Chains A and B, each alone.
Chain A
Amino acid sequence: MRYRTTPWLFLTPFLLAFTAFFIAPVGYAVYLSLFIKKRSGFGPAQNVFGGLENYLRAFQDTAFLQSLGNILLFLAIQVPIMLIVATAMALILDSVKSGSAQKFFRTAFYLPYTVPGVIAGLLWGYLYSKNLSPLNQITGLKTDFLSSSILLFSIGNIVTWTWTGYNMITLYAALQNVPGDIYEAARIDGASNWNLTRYIKLPLLRPALTLTAIFSIIGTMQIFSEPFVLRPLGYVPDNITPNTYLYLAVARDGNFGYGAALAIIMALFTLIFSSFFLRNVRGETA
């Protein structure tokens, strides 16, 4: 008996906090998502039980589906670019002998990650403005980076700028963990630099790459602050990302039920997408 209670006693502090700060809010969100707003005349809106109506609405809501499409496009383009660049930078840093230049670049690449997302958004908002953008001033072009037709890519650029260094550090750390004798053995066998990279470093990077890819997928699903900060500078569609769309449903329209339903759909979507990715990657290694 004692053996059974003791572990639970030790677990209690964690379980209490986990229930209060994790299970309860999620449970409340599920509960909220079952209510819809009803009005009559000028009276205040009533929250009435609507079952799965909010979920049905979400799957018929073209604006919301479009936001999912946007984020898939973003995933397909931005994440691979970012991870390829991060890998390349990690490999370069790894192959260069430790020195002050190496240290400098390692820090410089990482630096954007330390800038808070909102500040980065404001900074880029300035760099993107049509008449003040240094890029436009140098090239003499008048590109409107904030135009709604290319805004998703401009945001992709901000995200790449912020997160490439972070992913690079993760990959670089993984490379540092490779025991030196593996390289030594390969060199004795006559492996060239390219072969060393292709057949030893990259395969060994695989777990770290999987990790960064999963984090990038989850991070992409949560993109919010960049488009939100750019809103005052021009037209940013409500549904540029699912998160801005569900935020506006709650904060602007006061529709807590619909917002909660969208949040739950997004969580499931992320879960399915990440596990799908993980399963495929694992399948290949096995």
Chain B
Amino acid sequence: MKKVMLSLSALSISTLLLAGSALAADPAFPKAPSGNITLEVWSWVPGLDKTVASFEKAYPNIKIKILNLGGGPATYTKLQTAIKAGAGAPDVAQVEYGFLPAFADTGGLADLSKYGAGDYEEYFVPWTWGQVSPDGKAVYAIPQDTGPFAMVYRNDILKKYGVAVPKTWDEYAKAAATVKTKSKGTVKFGNFYSTFAPWFMALAWADGGQFFKRDGDGWIQNLNNASAKKVLNYWNGMIRRGEVGTLAGFSADYWNAAGAGKLATNMEAAWGPGGYAGSLGTKSAGMWRAAPLPQWTAGGSIKSGNWGGSSNVVTTQSKNPQAATLFALWLNLSSTAITADWNNGGLFPASDAGLALPALAVTSKNPSKFFGGQNISAVYAQASRGVNVNFEWAPWFPFVNDNYTKQIDRMLKGQLTPDQALDAWQAESLAYAKQNGFTVK
């Protein structure tokens, strides 16, 4: 019975893949405006200058000027200032999904639906379009890269303790208990990143949890939603029983534990495996594998959440919004650009057909090489197609992000139950949003 189900789900995956590939990787792009045009692009994608050379070849009248101002905050501060000043903003800029609402609220982002971007919705993985066009009308950005969630695990450790790769959270908890007993507590089955709100939110996202929603002229914030409570109680139980660790992500402590075989599994975004390969080097190389995120109910299609990833916005200051939109579409839908960005920067594409590009499936190079030659992109491609499409962010998310760490700290110290921690998170973030003038309930 199990085998039948497996092959059935394998079948549905391949149909999905086929459905994806049915749309060309290189759709017909909008016509380029005539005349000599120079576009300024702010992006921290490694090696982007090489990628755009092909664009300039295809569109000889458009020159691209790339400025790398450094990742995230460094670029945002400058972009925020330029938008406020009304001058000095680039034509195109890279912005992470979680920060899009904050920039849309400044009024400095062009609505790309005016330049035909709406026609390209079908070429992107469905959930990514929800991120750039929350109301389904205005399009604030073109999706670039993504971080769908899957599970990474140590094949050798699971074998050693005789546990199968968990497919459900039920199986995961049972395996965690087994490994704890058999290893006498020396091996943690998983790790709860206690300082990364987006990590936790991705897990609740996979269960359909919704944290923010636009509502009329205001917002609804629901940080203590049912999915969030379910997920946090689940992990807190395993933490209390000592089956799961709470090491800070990307810390020396974490990499040491992961490399030394003291950690069996973790939930990571599509960009995570590259970090494992880079940070662990030869330690535990070839012993890791990736599998779909464990599910709350067995047998259904794989549901996942997303952590990170970014998009390309066009500012209202751009003198050539038409050409800028064309560039943003080309950068994220042409197989040349997607392949180059994957090879140079490990960008996991938002383009649906991009997920099936041969470059992603190369197993002789990292990150797949580090994962024992498994085609891990296939696992993440499947995850991306299972990400809930209705997930939204709010402009005050940066505060919410930090406040999460505070409440989780209190929970880990035993001062709050998981439910109380989420209630406090909701209450304090709501008070903050109201104090800063947002209409929110």
Using CB atoms and an 8 Å cutoff, list the residues of chain A in contact with chain B.
37-45, 126, 129-132, 148-149, 232-235, 237-238, 248, 251-255
Which 8 pairs, one residue from A and one from B, show the smallest C-beta to C-beta distance? A235-B409, A39-B437, A41-B217, A129-B253, A44-B107, A252-B398, A44-B106, A235-B405
A19 to chain B, nearest CB (A): 23
Do residues B217 and A42 form an inter-chain contact, with CB atoms below 8 A?
A: yes
Which of A38, A149, A232 interacts with B437 by CB under 8 Å? A38
Which of A45, A126, A234, A253 interacts with B398 by CB under 8 Å? A253
B226 to chain A, nearest CB (A): 25
A70 to chain B, nearest CB (A): 15
Do residues A251 and B73 form an inter-chain contact, with CB atoms below 8 A?
A: yes
Interface status of B406 (Cβ within 8 A of chain A): yes
Do residues B402 and A248 form an inter-chain contact, with CB atoms below 8 A?
A: yes
Which of A42, A45, A129, A235 interacts with B408 by CB under 8 Å? A235
Do residues A238 and B437 form an inter-chain contact, with CB atoms below 8 A?
A: no
Q: List 13 A-B contacts (CB under 8 A).
A: A40-B439, A44-B105, A44-B108, A126-B252, A131-B247, A148-B409, A232-B195, A232-B251, A234-B195, A234-B409, A248-B402, A252-B399, A253-B436
Query: In chain A, what residue has the closest Cβ to B403?
Result: A238
Interface status of B416 (Cβ within 8 A of chain A): no
Proximity bits, B230-271, A CB within 8 Å = 1, else 0: 000000000000000001101111001100000000000000
Do residues A253 and B399 form an inter-chain contact, with CB atoms below 8 A?
A: yes
Name the B residues within 8 Å of A234 (CB-CB).
Answer: 194-195, 248, 409
Name the A residues within 8 Å of B80 (CB-CB).
Answer: 254
Name the B residues within 8 Å of A37 (CB-CB).
Answer: 436-437
Which of A42, A132, A238, A252 interacts with B256 by CB under 8 Å? A132
Name the A residues within 8 Å of B402 (CB-CB).
Answer: 238, 248, 252
In Å, the complex CA distance between A43 and B105 comes to 6
Query: In chain A, what residue has the closest Cβ to B432?
Result: A253
The secondary-structure label for the interface of chain A is: loop
Query: In chain B, what residue has the closest Cβ to A133?
Result: B253
Name the A residues within 8 Å of B408 (CB-CB).
Answer: 235
In Å, the complex CA distance between A39 and B395 comes to 12
In Å, the complex CA distance between A126 and B413 comes to 22
Query: In chain A, what residue has the closest Cβ to B399?
Result: A253
Do residues A131 and B195 form an inter-chain contact, with CB atoms below 8 A?
A: no
Do residues B253 and A131 form an inter-chain contact, with CB atoms below 8 A?
A: yes
Do residues A232 and B406 form an inter-chain contact, with CB atoms below 8 A?
A: no
Proximity bits, B405-428, A CB within 8 Å = 1, else 0: 110110001000000000000000
Do residues B251 and A233 form an inter-chain contact, with CB atoms below 8 A?
A: yes
Using CB atoms and an 8 Å cutoff, list the residues of chain B in contact with chain A.
73, 77, 80, 104-108, 194-195, 214, 217-218, 247-248, 250-253, 256-257, 396, 398-399, 402, 405-406, 408-409, 413, 436-439
Name the A residues within 8 Å of B438 (CB-CB).
Answer: 39
Do residues A132 and B253 form an inter-chain contact, with CB atoms below 8 A?
A: yes
In Å, the complex CA distance between A254 and B406 comes to 21
Name the A residues within 8 Å of B108 (CB-CB).
Answer: 44
Query: In chain A, what residue has the closest Cβ to B412?
Result: A235
Which of A38, A42, A148, A232 interacts with B105 by CB under 8 Å? A42
Name the A residues within 8 Å of B396 (CB-CB).
Answer: 253
A63 to chain B, nearest CB (A): 10
B272 to chain A, nearest CB (A): 16
Do residues B399 and A232 form an inter-chain contact, with CB atoms below 8 A?
A: no
Do residues B399 and A43 form an inter-chain contact, with CB atoms below 8 A?
A: no
Query: In chain A, what residue has the closest Cβ to B218?
Result: A41
In Å, the complex CA distance between A41 and B437 comes to 9
14 further A-B contacts with Cβ under 8 Å, apart from A235-B406, A237-B406, A253-B436, are: A37-B436, A39-B439, A42-B104, A42-B105, A45-B105, A45-B437, A129-B251, A132-B256, A149-B413, A233-B248, A234-B409, A238-B402, A251-B77, A255-B436
In Å, the complex CA distance between A232 and B194 comes to 11
In Å, the complex CA distance between A33 and B121 comes to 44
B107 to chain A, nearest CB (A): 5
Name the A residues within 8 Å of B218 (CB-CB).
Answer: 41
Query: In chain A, what residue has the closest Cβ to B219?
Result: A42
B425 to chain A, nearest CB (A): 13
Name the A residues within 8 Å of B252 (CB-CB).
Answer: 126, 129, 132
Query: In chain A, what residue has the closest Cβ to B396?
Result: A253
A119 to chain B, nearest CB (A): 15
A133 to chain B, nearest CB (A): 9
B64 to chain A, nearest CB (A): 29
Query: In chain A, what residue has the closest Cβ to B398?
Result: A252
Which of B73, B77, B195 has the most A CB atoms < 10 Å from its CB?
Answer: B195
Name the A residues within 8 Å of B253 (CB-CB).
Answer: 129-132
A280 to chain B, nearest CB (A): 37
In Å, the complex CA distance between A253 and B214 comes to 20
Name the B residues within 8 Å of A45 (CB-CB).
Answer: 105, 436-437
In Å, the complex CA distance between A235 and B73 comes to 20
In Å, the complex CA distance between A159 and B89 comes to 40
In Å, the complex CA distance between A129 and B214 comes to 41
Name the A residues within 8 Å of B406 (CB-CB).
Answer: 235, 237-238
Query: In chain B, what residue has the closest Cβ to A57?
Result: B435
In Å, the complex CA distance between A43 and B247 comes to 40
Name the A residues within 8 Å of B437 (CB-CB).
Answer: 37-39, 45
Query: In chain A, what residue has the closest Cβ to B105?
Result: A44
Do residues A232 and B248 form an inter-chain contact, with CB atoms below 8 A?
A: yes
In Å, the complex CA distance between A253 and B437 comes to 12
Query: In chain A, what residue has the closest Cβ to B196?
Result: A232
A256 to chain B, nearest CB (A): 10
Query: In chain B, what residue has the closest Cβ to A250?
Result: B77
In Å, the complex CA distance between A233 and B254 comes to 10
Name the B residues within 8 Å of A42 (CB-CB).
Answer: 104-105, 214, 217
In Å, the complex CA distance between A257 and B413 comes to 35
Query: In chain A, what residue has the closest Cβ to B428?
Result: A63
Name the A residues within 8 Å of B251 (CB-CB).
Answer: 129, 232-233
Q: With A252-B398, A253-B436, A254-B80 as given contacts, are A43 and B107 in contact (CB-CB < 8 Å)?
A: yes
